[in-house]
Structure 1
Amino acid sequence: MPGRRGLLGGLAAAALAAGRAEAMTAERGTGDLGLVVERASGSVQIVETTGRSALGRITGLGDLSHASAVFSRDGRYAFVFGRDGGLNKIDLLQGELNRRVLQAGNSIGGAISDDGRLVAVGNYEPGGVRVFDSVTLEPVEDIPAAYGPEGAARSKVVGLADIPGRGFAFSLYDADEVWTVALPEGGAPEIRRFRDAGRQPYDGFVTPDGRHYIAGLFGEDGLTRIDLWHPERGVQRVLPGYGRGEEPLPVFKMPHLRGWAVAGEQVFLPAIGRHELLVADRWDWTERGRVAVHGQPVFAVARPDGRQVWVNFAHPRNDVVQVVDTESLSVVHAFTLGRGVMHLEFTPRGEQAWISVRDINRVEVFDTRSLARIASLPAESPSGILLTARAGRIGF
């Protein structure tokens, strides 16, 4: 695309002033590594799950108040997306910041293509999606997500996820649309727009088989589904009007849909402004039930075997994690861990759950069978926990 090498302009690559993790000396694979985001200090810890230990800290990563990460195909590199528009490439084996660019003014997450060649970032300011070469972080494409009369406005982009076919799906919060884009090597972007996708889509996820993109709606009760196998079917509604006739509660924190709460034949979804999980049939997307929970759910994360869903909650009830049995649709256990439970991540086979507790500066690790605490790691205002197993998953 013309001028793409000048895309960064005044947002030129920042100097690599970051620290180097101190403990990355042993030869190792990457399969049990991961990151703990330390949101207050602009740093991440590199951790390993076999011995449940921290290996070191990397600093200088910018504003990580809403940070997320994806991983290269081999699990060696993490791409960390900062709220300040920073795109950071971290070498997990060397324990150092490999590259950093400031690609926008305010970004909200990203994704990596199925071939591992492209990293895409969803932006609030100036809006749209920017795509980079995963090796060099050189710009490849700028997709403005333009809407309105003659495309005069750029929309905030949310719910950016990879989809099969060297592509991405994402939601336009301001335009009430969902877009998919394929980026064939050497060809122009192939964009498909799904208009009237529902009011204010705020997040999205792709089902584990890569078939469906689901967008949560903030401006109305319900969700939007796009069948990626049959895009010609257009926008389809999921659980429309689930709060019909009832006054919603004030929303203190937006729920997230990236927990992949797909468990067997069921999908577990946080209800906005309600103390409930919504349960939908995975195949026909009709309602199967609801689960009353402790507060307004933020993450609903399925254990890899699908037997349980673990849930955390928005302020002021954010000191608790509840465990939901997916057969009985009932809460079977609750942990009280301290204020600011931010994120949950299971190890690939589900034997451990890692939970960040921001306000007590700890990451707590639990055995998911006995529900006993098996490790407790210090961290500076931890939020996201992201393990390299994500490298092999669609839409994660």
Structure 2
Amino acid sequence: MKTLLLAVLAALSLSACVSVTATGDLGVVIERADGKVAVVNTTERTVLAEIDGLGDLSHASVVFSRDQRFAFVFGRDGGLTKVDLVTQRIAGRVLQSGNSIGGAISQDGRLVAVSNYEPGGVRVFDADSLEMVADIPTGSKVVGLVDAPGRRFVFSLFDAGEIWMADFSQGPSPRMTRYANVGKQPYDALITDDGRTYIAGLFGEDGFALLDLWHPERGVRRVLDGYGRGEQPLPVYKMPHLEWLTVSGGLAYLPAIGRHEVLVMDTATWRQVGAVPVLGQPVFIVAQPDKRRLWVNFAFPDNDKVQLIDVESRSVAATLTTGKGTLHLEFTPRGEEVWLSLRDEDAVSVWDVATLTPITRLNIAKPSGIFFTPRAYKTGM
């Protein structure tokens, strides 16, 4: 009898392990109002668990460990929380600053870096233990922190108008490279998915600052310098997120600031070659995994809609009414579905990409960011 009982328990344990540790179709949704994350299964389109105690998630982002088991959640209150998606519990948490604005994980998955508003600077932690490895003071708010190949982190200084690169390839004491006078008030930045090009958007003036990480010795150059000069900018109700630059067919697509258009740039020269008029102020521009179409959402008052841009014609192919407070868009790994967070409807809506119709809704309170585990294998995500 005892042997039979042990066999049954072992089988149940193995079954649970198999079902829970298949992390490739998992993800998390930020519940911004309640300091929670919802763990979701993208294959079954279900909520597996809600995890509480993550602090202020009013502006939160997530990166994943290379085995996809752990989500590192960066909260606005300076909290860095390590969430175990298998046990669906908090595996570690450190309140590392007074106000933070995101983070990144190194190419080898061993370091997690956090960018801070208060007291400024970047702090870097061991991904296993969450013990601090390095403290990089900057005397400025830090934005646009990304991981780059070669165990490097690149980030921008909002107050100082600079771009810094921290190279951890030789150990825990980073080799620092600083680029001054890159432009007024860099507010966000991105890195292309090949890890080569870092681009910072400028809030204090029109234009972008570009750093070629293959040739960092060449310094930072300006691109789209003074775009839209002489035109009256429209009100900016929500700043666009530059980490969602999309490259397709040798062209890059960026949200314009204070204008109802998507900028088109040639990635060989990084010069503007066009602009696509859209419904409102774009916030996120997200490409389907096949890069055929771009999905664009908007700031208020157009934040109940999404427009699709066809990359061949460089024109709007469809306008979808998706729901109130449409914030974040995330595609399933191979792009057959897209998940949309509807903040003002307390729901996540799942859409079929081929038919452009909704499939189902998940009840999730005040959702914002949606992050799926395949991000673990992408640079700058």
Match of 2:54 among 55, 58, 61: 61
User: Is the 1:24–1:55 Cα contact (8 Å) retained in structure 2?
Assistant: no
For structure 1, the 5+ residue unaligned runs are 1-22, 146-153
Q: In structure 2, the residue corresponding to 1:63 is in which secondary structure? A: coil
User: Is the 1:83–1:108 Cα contact (8 Å) retained in structure 2?
Assistant: yes
CA distance in 2, matches of 1:95, 1:251: 38
Match of 2:137 among 105, 123, 144: 144
Identity of aligned residues (%): 61
Match for residue 267 of structure 1? Answer: 252
Match for residue 390 of structure 1? Answer: 375
CA distance in 2, matches of 1:369, 1:238: 36
CA distance in 2, matches of 1:187, 1:113: 12
TM-score norm. by structure 2 comes to 0.94
User: Is the 1:24–1:95 Cα contact (8 Å) retained in structure 2?
Assistant: no
CA distance in 2, matches of 1:246, 1:310: 26
Larger Cα Rg: Structure 1 or Structure 2?
2
Match for residue 216 of structure 1? Answer: 201
Match for residue 30 of structure 2? Answer: 37
Shift of 1:186: 3.3
Aligned Cα RMSD in Å? 1.3
Deviation sequence 1:180-226 (CA, Å, 0-9, x none): 11113535211111111111101111101100001111111111110
* 1:106-185 equivalences in 2 (<5 Å): 106-145=99-138, 154-185=139-170
Q: What residue identity is the alignment partner of 1:364? A: S
Answer yes or no: is 1:96 the counterpart of 2:89. yes
CA distance in 2, matches of 1:356, 1:107: 22
Q: What residue identity is the alignment partner of 1:255? A: P
Q: In structure 1, the residue corresponding to 2:86 is in which secondary structure? A: coil
Match of 2:73 among 62, 75, 80: 80
CA distance in 1, matches of 2:95, 2:17: 27
CA distance in 1, matches of 2:20, 2:361: 25
CA distance in 1, matches of 2:289, 2:373: 15
Deviation sequence 1:88-113 (CA, Å, 0-9, x none): 00000111111111000000000000
* 1:1-396 equivalences in 2 (<5 Å): 26-145=19-138, 154-186=139-171, 188-396=173-381
User: Is the 2:327–2:343 Cα contact (8 Å) retained in structure 1?
Assistant: yes
TM-score norm. by structure 1 comes to 0.90
Q: In structure 2, the residue corresponding to 1:331 is in which secondary structure? A: strand
CA distance in 1, matches of 2:24, 2:337: 15
Match for residue 15 of structure 1? Answer: none
User: Is the 1:208–1:260 Cα contact (8 Å) retained in structure 2?
Assistant: no
CA distance in 1, matches of 2:46, 2:314: 34
Q: What residue identity is the alignment partner of 1:60? A: G
Are the structure 2 counterparts of residues 86 and 186 from structure 1 closer, same or farther at C-alpha, using a change threshold of 3 Å?
same
Aligned length: 366
